[in-house]
Structure 1
Amino acid sequence: PTGFVLDITSRLAFKILRDDPNAQLVLHMHGAGGTVGSGHRVSNYRALSAGEPRKIHVLTFDYRGFGSSTGIPSESGLILDALAVVDWAINIAGIPPSRILIFAQSMGTAVGLAVSQHFALQSPPVVFAGTVLVAPFVDVATLSATYRVAGTIPILSPLANFPLLINYFKGYIRDKWLSKDRIAWYVRANEANGKRYRLTIIHAEDDYDIPWHHTPDIFWHAVNASVPDGISYDNLELKKLESKVNLGAAGSVMEWRTSNGVIREEILKTGKHDTIMGYPVVTMAVMRLFSAPESSLACQT
């Protein structure tokens, strides 16, 4: 059957998810372009469950104002929508957070970080199996200075050489989406609480929608928050020279480990903004986070 159902709990897919004690759930938070049914997302859904198709379920949804969902999109509204989905997964489907993974792309990464941060700050704290961010951005103000629609039409980048003018326009941005701050708050909360956490950040160098240099910035904010005295961006770059794994044409991987968490940065040479979503790197990220034992954590020196 296809189309909308009044009671999803009556569907076989829901019963399989709820009744299987080993079921794992990926909560998918999509970007600003299109809806859950957009053609370019189909390969992503397949990649998310490909590693263990009999065990991994994927739940995606349209935020308010997207697809058939009513309402007007806003930062607070989209976050509330995502929190409602997580609440449904935990309290209706009965899936514990340890078997839930937050997966997000593009604008969805800001939503996913807000959700992860929200639950990490609860009492008691709630931490999921992991969070995967594909093509994240530092914040909307920074993104607006570089963003190009379809990788071609610039928004504010022509004004980049006029700081006063671009700052004037930035002042009219309503939804800030401060991902760099949220990822830092998330990491600090887990470090302070001694909670196990795992973050994977993925970006392609040929992403012309959200330039890939946003990911090293996001990665640094996360790593900096994991160190009691902090670490400068330049010092982290020096650490990368020592520890980063160069995969040649496939890109590079850098992991930062603490006694509580793993923060992983994967930079691919190719994949653009959406094509990467169907790549094996996505499947491997999901499998790595779902299967990672707590004992694998080690201190970074």
Structure 2
Amino acid sequence: MLRTIERLSVFYNWGPAVPFPAARVAEAADVWLTAEVGVELHAAFYECPDEYRRLPAEQSPVVLFFHGNAGSIRRWRHIGSRWQDALGADVLVLDYRGYGRSSGTPTEAGLYIDARAAYEYLTQDRAVDPERIVIVGQSLGGGVAVNLAHDSAHAALVLESTFTRLTEVPSARLPWLPTERWMRNRFGSIDLLSQYLKPLFVSHGDRDWLIPYAHAERLVEATAGPVEFMTLPGMNHSDRRPPEYNERVRRFLAEHLPQFRGLGESDD
């Protein structure tokens, strides 16, 4: 199921519905992590060049990004430059078990373990202060991100085009199917967000074929802490965020987190 749901959206995306500039190529270092015995994970670490920093390196945000179900970190190479441009951030992008060059078989419980391994790489191996970490999840990665954010020290959470619960994704299009019975992987994000108190930024396209826009509305309503919701007009599930998205996220973090106050300064 983890390899099927999102791939269906490819047939309904004939190109980006909103304009975005071609991403520059950011340099990445290969990272190898041990999630548990027999499971080796591949990740990419994008260290932000000084010219894109918005804060001193030791104060800059560090983005821990969890991608969607389709593809591997090779497909998601634009993520490094996107968050460097948006926040002047270092970026770690993880391939879950069974994805890309990572070993193992994907399961909900396994992906949560993988996320913890990536988090510990940042906080232990790289000695990153948790209060600098912005956890970001897109689509399937939103479920992984929410679970990690639920019980890990960090600065903020950003969710992009994700669901309330994975079991509710197919039921939106095929309501006669008993998805609650046969889906093993549930990713109940909405159940955890009712207890989430840190800043949360949510964005969703209003033409998302795969995960309906209403999922984002419900996530926002369920969240206990400060939240901002950005609707992306004309955007489908696999389209990239427009340039103005970067500014909205940057201003939100600067407004709610003293350590990132300088991010809100104008580019002019």
Q: TM exceeds 0.5?
A: yes
Match among 227, 246, 250 for residue 263 of structure 1: 227
AA of the residue aligned to 1:76 = A
Q: Give, in whole Å, the separation in 1 of the partners of 2:114 and 2:234.
A: 32
Question: Residues 96 and 5 of structure 1: is their aligned pair in 2 closer, same or farther, counting only changes over 3 Å?
Answer: closer
Structure 1 window deviating more from structure 2 (71-80 vs 284-293): it is: 284-293
Q: Which residue of 2 aligns with 1:236?
A: none
Aligned 8 A contact 2:169 2:210 in 1: no
Q: Which aligned pairs between 1:218-233 and structure 2 lie closer than 5 A? A: 218-222=219-223, 226=224
User: Whole-Å Cα distance in 2 between the matches of residues 47 and 289 of structure 1?
Assistant: 17
Name 1:216's counterpart in structure 2.
217
Mark the CA change 1:99 to 1:289 in structure 2 (over 3 Å): closer, same or farther: farther
> Paired residue for 2:194, among 172, 178, 184?
184
Distance 1:268 1:45 in 2: 21
Shift of residue 42 of structure 1?
3.5
Partner of 2:172: 146
| Preserved CA contact (<8 Å) 2:228 2:252 | no
Q: Is the 8 A contact 2:46 2:91 kept in 1?
A: no
Q: Which has the higher helix share?
A: 1
1:172 paired to 2:182:
yes
| Deviation at residue 291 of structure 1 after TM alignment | 2.4
Asked if 1:95 corresponds to 2:121, the answer is: no
Cα distance, 1:285 vs structure 2: 4.3
SS in 1 for 2:182: coil
**TM-score under structure 2 length normalisation:** 0.72
**Paired residues of 2:203 and 2:232 also in contact (CA < 8 A):** yes
Aligned residue in 1 for 2:240:
276
Task: Give the CA deviation at 1:118.
Answer: 1.9
Aligned residue-pair number: 218
Kindly indicate whether residue 162 of structure 2 is the aligned counterpart of residue 114 of structure 1. no
Quote the offset at 1:3 in angstroms. 7.8
Distance 1:175 1:281 in 2: 34
1:33 aligns with 2:34: no
Identity %: 23
Q: Using structure 1 for the length normalisation, give the TM-score.
A: 0.65
CA contact (8 A) 2:112 2:148 kept: yes
Stretch deviating more after TM superposition (267-276 or 81-90): 267-276
1:51 matched to 2:83? no
2:108 is aligned to 75
CA distance in 1, matches of 2:134, 2:46: 22
> Once the 2 structures are TM-superposed, how far is the Cα of residue 212 of structure 1 from its aligned partner?
1.0
1:34-64 CA distance string (max 9 Å, x none): 01111xx3334322211344xx111101000
TM-aligned CA deviation for residue 280 of structure 1: 2.1
Q: What residue ranges of structure 1 are gaps of 5+ in the alignment?
A: 120-125, 148-156, 191-196, 227-260, 296-301
Q: How far apart, CA to CA, are the structure 2 residues paired with 1:97 and 1:66?
A: 26
Residue by residue, what CA displacement relative to the aligned partner does 1:142-182 show, whole Å, maximum 9, x if unpaired?
112135xxxxxxxxx1xx2x4xxx22x43011111111101
Distance 1:289 1:94, change over 3 A: farther
CA shift at 1:20, angstroms? 3.6
Shift of 1:292: 2.9
Q: Indicate the residue corresponding to 1:287 in structure 2.
A: 250
1:49/1:282 CA distance change after superposition, 3 Å: farther
Structure 2 counterpart of 1:202, one-letter code:
S
What is the letter of the counterpart of residue 27 of structure 1? L
Aligned residue identity for 2:85: A
SS of the counterpart of 2:117?
helix
Is the Cα contact below 8 Å between 1:206 and 1:272 reproduced in 2? yes
- Counterparts of 1:11-26 in structure 2, within 5 Å, are 13=47, 20-26=57-63
Shift of 1:289: 4.6
Distance in 1 of aligned mates of 2:172 and 2:144:
20
Q: Secondary structure at the match of 1:27?
A: strand
Map of 1:200 onto structure 2: 201
- Aligned to 1:266, the other structure's residue is in SS state strand
**Does the Cα contact within 8 Å between 2:200 and 2:227 map onto a contact in 1?**
yes
Q: Is the alpha carbon distance of 1:47 and 1:170 closer, same or farther for their aligned partners in structure 2, counting shifts above 3 Å? A: same
Q: Is the 8 A contact 1:140 1:178 kept in 2?
A: yes
